[in-house]
Amino acid sequence: MKSAIRVRELRKTYPGRTPVEAVRGLDLDVAAGACFGLLGPNGAGKTTTIEILEGLLEPTSGDVEVLGLRWDRDANTLRERIGVTLQETKFTDKLSVLETLELFRSFFPRGTAARDAIDLVGLGEKAASHVVTLSGGQRQRLAVACALVGAPDLLFLDEPTTGLDPQSRRQLWDVVRDLRTQGRTVLLTTHYMDEAEKLCDHIAIVDHGRVIAAGSPDALIRSLGGDHVVEFAFAGGVAGESELATLRALPSVRSARSEGDGYHLTVAEPHVALPAILDRSRALGSSLTRLSTRHASLEDVFVALTGRHLRDE
Amino acid sequence: MSATSGFVELYKMRMREFLREPAVLFWVFGFPILLAVGLGIAFREKPIDLVTVGVLRGEGAEVLTTALRAQPGFRVEEVDAEESLRRLRLGKVALVVVPGAELEYRYDATNPEGVLARSRVDDALQRAAGRTDPRTFRETLVTEPGSRYVDFLVPGLLGMNILSGAMYGIGFALVDMRSRRLLKRLAATPMRRSHFLLATMASRMTVVIVEVALMLGFGKVFFGMEFHGGVPAATALSLLAAASFSGMGLLVATRTRKIEVVSGLINLAMLPMFVVSGVFFSSERFPDAIQPIVRAMPLTALNDALRAVLLEGADLTSQLGRIAILLAWGGISFVIALRLFRWN
């Protein structure tokens, strides 16, 4: 498959009294036509990475190829072929939605008509409204529209739904899903695992400036060894390492760790594992104070890889 | 999209932003005119007021009072000895006449009004006593427009307005756009950066043309100013100055991220010039030792050149030195600013 983004050994160190290594040897391959998610906690280096890809930051070292082009040689061509939303751009309050889009449209030699871009993000009724009157979600959709007017081959969305209410998030997800069906490549960053899971067909989990796992959401979850998570607690709290070993040996259990006052298991088949857990409870002469099962999520993948939750900060 | 559409849309953006902000409109257009009206009224030229003279009560006072009241221009009051000193000190009377065989004038020789009163009172009393003047004369009163305070003031206010308009309209606006991350967003598009700069300057110069028309039109209509055909030259100077000051506005905005910081920088650059560059009073009042610095200030150059073309009808070729000062400030600012400018 044709590659839209290829990154090797990318490093970015911000100079200062205590230099900050934001990106430390990051590799990335994004196929053309994919919706690719960079998932990671705040401060993982996602925004630094995406701004290097957008040509807004210079890498300290490493090799970056975007749409087969390079920023040092082909900056003008690249800017015509990408669309960008930054975190928290505030457009001019007293311009209307249409005027803002006409401004952005004027920079591109080819592209989508301003009106069409407005319709793509569902802001048709707000075309004549001043930016100052828009809600947070509408402003974010305006930002996406501004990224679309150049009919980009590659679209960058940096934390597109951060700070939005649930309804606005879902509206924005719909917009991004529509874009995917048009065959554009989308690279988005997010620290919401549900967003990555719902929108992306490929994900790179980023932590401390490196990609620590990559693949489709399904593949990443399967890498846990089981699709399901069982969480429970015995009355009397958590026993030692030997109890974890016992739990791991139960049928269909793929991994086990203690969390809080109870245990967290990944299992392949809950209907096999659950009776075994109940038996174990009886054998201990204890009872279950809580028990829940759910599908494993990317959050579980992140925790399995780092021992931390995505939103621990 | 054509090659210049980016410039056109950026220009429209700046003009819309400007025209849709009532507070900005007031500060740019309304405020200087209010200032001109206020100062024009406060410093209006008026005929010399009546001179208030005290005559000490006593023998012969009556004759003096009658003699002075017979002449125009005096307000005469009779005062006691004790009272007279107090009224003199407070400036209620400019001079006290003490009657007697030899007249005595009591007044403060450092107070212009006292000196004036002494000469006019003496004149009036000597004539009343029979003095005849050996030479005849006639008076021609001259009130030439162009020498009044308001004539001095209006070009100065125009200059001040062009400076602050450019510093805020460029410097403040750019930092505001940087703090909103709009500069960064624009830098991520194929926008030509020269278009951005030129559009920002072009919108500023459009506003300057309106400012010149408004200020000078107001001066003519409200204060009856005469411009000796200098309006085209003044417009050209104003546009040149706006371009030059745009460079200075760009310079304060090169790296600054916070609008509070840029406001401070702008005031730091402007306030000294408001004082020394002859906005409200002549820059000639400063000591000779610092005149070279005062004259090298771009606002001094602009104000002096505006006054020369508007009040004296000078042509632009006589103002080349001042034009060179404006060009130098603008040119140097642009070169430094464009090297240092950050979009992020």
B280-321: pLDDT as tens digits: 999 999 999 999 999 999 999 999 999 999 999 999 999 999
Task: Kindly state whether residues B80 and B203 are assigned to the same domain.
Answer: no
Residue finishing a domain among B95, B128, B161 = B128
Say which of B1, B12, B184 has its CB closest to residue A56: B184
Which residues face A290 on adjacent strands? A233
Collapse the DSSP code of B109 into the 3-class scheme (helix H, G, I; strand E, B; otherwise coil) and give the result. Answer: coil
In a domain, B76, yes or no: yes
Task: Kindly state whether residues B240 and B288 are assigned to the same domain.
Answer: yes
Collapse the DSSP code of B103 into the 3-class scheme (helix H, G, I; strand E, B; otherwise coil) and give the result. Answer: coil
What residues have CB less than 8 Å from B188, skipping those under 6 apart?
A54, A55, A56, A79, A82, A84, A86
Task: Kindly state whether residues B206 and B305 are assigned to the same domain.
Answer: yes
Cβ of A99 and B191 within 8 Å?
no
Cβ of B188 and A84 within 8 Å?
yes
Cα B26 off chain centre by: 19
- A91/chain B closest Cα distance in angstroms: 6
Instruction: Provide the pLDDT for residue A313.
Output: 45
Instruction: Provide the pLDDT for residue A103.
Output: 97
Nearest CA in chain B to A90: B180
pLDDT tens digits along B184-237: 999 999 999 999 999 999 999 999 999 999 999 999 988 888 898 899 999 999
In a domain, B138, yes or no: no
Longest alpha-carbon distance in chain A: 75
Interface of A with B in 95-134 (CB under 8 A): 95, 99, 102-109, 111
In a domain, B178, yes or no: yes
Measured between CB atoms, does A65 come within 8 Å of chain B?
A: no
In a domain, B248, yes or no: yes
Confidence band, pLDDT 50/70/90 cuts, at residue A297? confident
**Mean predicted confidence (pLDDT) in B68-86:** 87
Number of domains in chain B: 2
ipTM over 0.90: no
Tell me which residue has tokens 């010399």. B48
Q: Are A77 and A61 in contact (CB under 8 A)?
A: no
In a domain, B283, yes or no: yes
**Mean predicted confidence (pLDDT) in B253-277:** 93
The domain containing residue B282 runs over which residues?
Answer: 3-43+144-340
Nearest CA in chain B to A108: B190
Task: Kindly state whether residues B13 and B84 are assigned to the same domain.
Answer: no
Q: Provide, as residue numbers in chain A, all residues whose Cβ is less than 8 Å from the Cβ of B175.
A: none
Say which of B1, B181, B188 has its CB closest to residue A88: B181
Task: Kindly state whether residues B149 and B289 are assigned to the same domain.
Answer: yes
In a domain, B135, yes or no: no
Task: Kindly state whether residues B207 and B272 are assigned to the same domain.
Answer: yes
Average pLDDT, chain B: 90
Tell which of A86, A91, A100, A107 to mutate to test the B interface (max B CBs under 10 Å): A107
Task: Kindly state whether residues B209 and B88 are assigned to the same domain.
Answer: no
Say which of B6, B13, B184 has its CB closest to residue A86: B184
Say which of A94, A102, A111 has its CB closest to residue B17: A94
Q: Provide, as residue numbers in chain A, all residues whose Cβ is less than 8 Å from the Cβ of B182.
A: 89-92
Task: Kindly state whether residues B253 and B158 are assigned to the same domain.
Answer: yes
User: Is the C-alpha dihedral spanning A157, A80, B15, B248 positive or negative?
Assistant: positive
Q: Are B101 and B39 in contact (CB under 8 A)?
A: no
Task: Kindly state whether residues B11 and B92 are assigned to the same domain.
Answer: no
Nearest CA in chain A to B184: A56
pLDDT tens digits along A11-67: 999 998 999 999 999 999 999 999 999 998 888 999 999 999 999 999 999 999 999
Q: Which residues of A110-149 are buried (b: 16+ CB within 10 A; e: fewer)?
A: ebbebeebbebbbbeebeeebbeebeebbbbbbbbbbbbb
* Res B47 pLDDT > 80: no
CATH code of residue B88: 3.40.190.10
Say which of B1, B10, B184 has its CB closest to residue A109: B1
Task: Kindly state whether residues B242 and B286 are assigned to the same domain.
Answer: yes
Task: Kindly state whether residues B55 and B39 are assigned to the same domain.
Answer: no
In a domain, B133, yes or no: no
Cβ of A99 and B21 within 8 Å?
no
Longest alpha-carbon distance in chain B: 98
In a domain, B190, yes or no: yes
DSSP assignment letter at B47 = P
Task: Kindly state whether residues B72 and B176 are assigned to the same domain.
Answer: no
